[in-house]
Amino acid sequence: MKKLLLTGLLGLISLASASAADALLINGEGATFPAPIYQKWFSDYNKANPSIQINYNADGSGAGIAAINNETVTIGASDAPMTDADLAKAKGGKILHFPTVAGADVLAYNVPGNPQLKLDADSVAGIFLGKITKWNDPALVALNPDAKLPDADIVVGHRTDASGTTFVFTDYLSHISSEWKTKVGASKDPGTKWPTGQGGKGNDGVAGLIKNTPGAIGYVELTYAVQNKMPFADLKNADGNFVTASLDSVSEALNGAKIPDDFRFSMINAPGAKSYPIASCTWLLVYQQQKDAAKGKALVDFLKWAYGPGEDEAKDLDYARLPSSLVDRVTKAIDTIKY
């Protein structure tokens, strides 16, 4: 009897293994910011559709753009839309941008007592240009009269890898500071152009630097800061109001953004009384003409699922979902994918 049961169990395992081996495999690569929701989407979709398996390697927006351009993946992912120069390098024809969810960069810090700080455009630019070097600088004291800011050095933290998070932050600095725009500009990896600071790889690296360095300040993604209980500053927005980064303030920024037909857009300093100023969407990147018909059909089916049940999962993972009007536009664009 035991032998029969064992034989049956081995048979079931064999069938399961065969089923997994027979699954259509789609590879994706890119941004770390949306990795938690993408991993959940791919897992949930596989459970409902066992014949399709989507693997995702979260190693940065720069890597995602390079991978889709070189056709080593079916799905690229980036927190920054591809530039015209990026698109010109695409080996497989026209690449489509599909915004998925939205989030924000926040300025996390390590100050004694970690008071709730307020920062405006001039103070943020001054810190990252290396011009405001002390926590008790008059500009910071004026913005935070009730905080006991120490006579201590400010240690700036930034990313060392090619990062969509960095692009969003440096794009913000380029919007609010002509000096930053001229000297550094918006970039996924400023490299040696960083005016000051210490580098860390990924959100983990920057967060670790902040947590372990008294006086440190650096940019990390909102979802990461919330999940790791890191204090972060309220920022003065384009309407002159100090706003806390949240799903609601990110959604306000998204609602205020102008979105063209190709979905390459910026939410930086979007108008709105409650808009958070350093907000951004993240994008899936796919070729309009799919060379593999089976993978192309599977991709289209997945994307249509993602903009239905998938969007419903955004809030639980600390992402802002897209407004229904934008989802409708994206869904129509999915129908232009050919395979």
DSSP 253-290: HHHHS---TT-----TT-SSTT--SSEEEEEEEEESB-
315 and 232 within one domain: no
Question: Is 118 a residue whose pLDDT tops 60?
Answer: yes
Q: Per the domain annotation, does 41 fall within a domain?
A: yes
Instruction: Note down the domain range covering 230.
Output: 104-279
Position 123 confidence tier, pLDDT thresholds 50, 70, 90: very high
What value does the mean pLDDT of the chain take? 92
Residue ending a domain, among 279, 300, 326, is 279
83 and 29 within one domain: yes
Position 21 confidence tier, pLDDT thresholds 50, 70, 90: low
Q: Per the domain annotation, does 169 fall within a domain?
A: yes
Rounded mean pLDDT of 107-124?
Answer: 97
Higher pLDDT, 228 or 66: 66
245 and 206 within one domain: yes
In 3D, which of 177, 174, 228 has the Cα closest to residue 206? 228
Q: Per the domain annotation, does 15 fall within a domain?
A: no
pLDDT of residue 5: 43
In 3D, which of 153, 155, 154, 194 has the Cα closest to residue 173? 194
pLDDT in tens, 170-181: 999 999 999 999
In 3D, which of 249, 218, 248, 213 has the Cα closest to residue 231? 218
Q: Per the domain annotation, does 7 fall within a domain?
A: no
pLDDT of residue 203: 84
The residues, any chain, with a CB within 8 Å of residue 304's CB and separated by 6 or more, are: 331, 334
In 3D, which of 302, 312, 225, 232 has the Cα closest to residue 24? 302
131 and 267 within one domain: yes
25 and 55 Cβ atoms separated by less than 8 Å: yes
Question: Is 63 a residue whose pLDDT tops 80?
Answer: yes
The pLDDT > 90 percentage for the chain reads 85
How many domains does the structure of the chain reveal? 2
Q: What is the dihedral of CA 137, 141, 147, 148, to 10 degrees?
A: 40
Residue ending a domain, among 244, 262, 279, is 279
247 and 178 within one domain: yes
185 and 74 within one domain: no
156 and 78 within one domain: no
* 199 DSSP β-pair partners: 158
266 and 149 within one domain: yes
115 and 242 within one domain: yes
Rounded mean pLDDT of 81-94?
Answer: 97
156 and 271 within one domain: yes
Q: Per the domain annotation, does 13 fall within a domain?
A: no
Q: Per the domain annotation, does 19 fall within a domain?
A: no
Q: Per the domain annotation, does 3 fall within a domain?
A: no
pLDDT of residue 202: 83
Question: Is 10 a residue whose pLDDT tops 80?
Answer: no
Backbone angles phi and psi of 281, in degrees to 5: -85, 170
305: helix, coil or strand?
helix
pTM assigned to the model: 0.86
Residue ending a domain, among 263, 279, 295, is 279
Question: Is 150 a residue whose pLDDT tops 90?
Answer: yes
pLDDT in tens, 295-326: 999 999 999 999 999 999 999 988 999 999 99
pLDDT in tens, 239-280: 999 999 999 999 999 999 999 999 999 999 999 999 999 999
200 and 76 within one domain: no
pLDDT in tens, 181-223: 999 999 999 999 999 999 998 888 999 999 999 999 999 999 8
CATH number of the domain that 241 lies in?
Answer: 3.40.190.10
Q: Per the domain annotation, does 5 fall within a domain?
A: no
173 and 55 within one domain: no
Higher pLDDT, 5 or 294: 294
The residues, any chain, with a CB within 8 Å of residue 36's CB and separated by 6 or more, are: 223, 317
